[in-house]
Amino acid sequence: MRSSESARPISTADRLRQLDEVIKIKAPIPIFDLTERTLTAQAPYLASPLSYLDALGRSWSLGAENNSLEWAEFGAPDARYGGIEFWFRNVTAGSTNLVSIAVTAGATGQGVIGNLQVRSSAGPAQTFQFTGFADQTLDVIARPTDEFAVLVILEAGAGVGYLAFHEVTYLTL
């Protein structure tokens, strides 16, 4: 796992260069910053190629003004589950794919380390840590073994009191 901070959003090409340093994927660097599939809070479904998201738990709300799906559990005595499933159907078995999830996350208190977990049916689980409030792009490599689907799950773990999902992209490298 590798984490880095940036003063500005970085392009897919920049992220691919950084990932290549870690896992040697030798991905082609795109000339244009295009993605194969994109899902957002206000566009959670694509008919072709079939892709959709499911927000799980009872604490989700649509933040229409900033196009986000928001979950909050600051100090709730009965903390509820906060997770989102991203389904990408009709994938190419044996391919290498970059799944990028743009979120804003908030820890439950000052000095608390928040943990975001990302699991995939086509890759190892990853934990991303943060403190305070942070805008993050979580990059995960998925290598499907079955053409049916890739399932990616984002979960609010220990120390997370706020999570806003903005966008997920799926790019075949």
Which pLDDT tens digit goes with each residue over 122-169? 777 899 999 999 999 999 888 999 899 999 999 999 999 999 999 999
CA distance 144 to 95: 7
**CATH number of the domain that residue 64 is part of:** 2.60.120.260
Residue 116: exposed, middle, or buried by beta-carbon count in 10 A (0-12, 13-18, 19+)? buried
Q: Is residue 66 within 8 Å of 125, Cβ to Cβ?
A: no
pLDDT at 32 over 80: no
* Domain-embedded: residue 3: no
What pLDDT score was predicted for residue 66? Answer: 82
CA distance 127 to 14: 21
Per-residue pLDDT of 42-61, as tens digits, reads: 999 999 999 999 999 878 99
Is the pLDDT reported for residue 1 higher than 50? no
Question: Which pTM was predicted?
Answer: 0.81
Average pLDDT value for the chain: 84
Structural domains counted in the chain: 1
Is it the case that residue 105 has pLDDT exceeding 70?
yes
Owning domain of residue 124: 37-172
Decide if 81 is inside a domain.
Answer: yes
Tokens read off for 133: 């409030």
- pLDDT higher than 70, residue 29: no
Is 168 within the bounds of a domain? Answer: yes
H or E element at residue 22:
helix 12-23
Residue 27, in any domain of the structure: no
30 within a domain of the structure (yes/no): no
Determine, yes or no, domain membership for 133.
Answer: yes
Residue 49 domain flag: yes
Residue 60 domain-assigned (yes or no): yes
